[in-house]
Copies of this chain bind each other. A is one copy, B any other.
Amino acid sequence: MNFTSDNAGPVPAAVLDALARANAGHAPGYGADELSERVRDRIRTLFEAPNAAVELVSTGTAANSLALATLCQPFQTVFCSPVAHIHEDECNAPEFYTGGAKLTLVPGADKMTAEGLRATIAAEESRGVHGPQRGPVSITQITERGNLYTLDELHALSAVARDYDLPVHLDGARFANACVALECTPAEMTWKAGVDVAVFGGTKNGCMGVEAVIFFDPAKHWEFQLRRKRGGHLFSKFRYLAAQMDAYLEGDLWRELAGMANARCAALAAGLTGVADIRNVPQGNMLFAALPRRAHRALHEAGARYYMWEGELDGHDDSEMLTARLVCDWSVTEADIARFVEIAKGA
Contacts and interface: CB of A to CB of B under 8 A. Distances in A.
B89 A130 contact: yes
Contact of A208 (B204, B225, B233, B237): B237
A70 to B, nearest CB: 11
Contacts of A73: 223, 226
A65 interface: yes
A132 B88 CA distance: 8
A26 interface: yes
A144 to B, nearest CB: 12
A240 interface: yes
Interface in A237-275: 237, 240
B8 A26 contact: yes
A92 B230 contact: yes
A90 interface: yes
Interface in A1-35: 2, 4-5, 7-11, 16, 19-20, 23-30
Interface string A294-328: 00000000000100000000000000000000000
Contacts of A5: 29, 236
A74 B96 contact: yes
Contacts of A235: 58-59, 209
A99 interface: yes
Given A26-B10, A233-B232, A129 B225 contact: yes
Interface residues on A, range: 35 or more
Interface string A56-94: 011111110110000001111100000000001111110
A203 interface: yes
A92 B96 contact: no
A75 B226 contact: yes
A231 B29 CA distance: 22
Nearest to A94: B100
B10 A75 contact: no
Q: Which of A10, A19, A88 has the most CB of B within 10 A?
A: A10
A40 interface: no
A237 B225 contact: no
Contacts of A28: 4, 8
Contacts of A130: 88-91, 229
A156 to B, nearest CB: 26
Nearest to A173: B236
Contact of A226 (B10, B59, B62, B133): B133
A92 B75 contact: yes
A101 interface: yes
A50 interface: no
Interface of A: 2, 4-5, 7-11, 16, 19-20, 23-30, 57-63, 65-66, 73-77, 88-93, 95-103, 127, 129-133, 203-204, 208-209, 223, 225-227, 229-237, 240, 305, 331
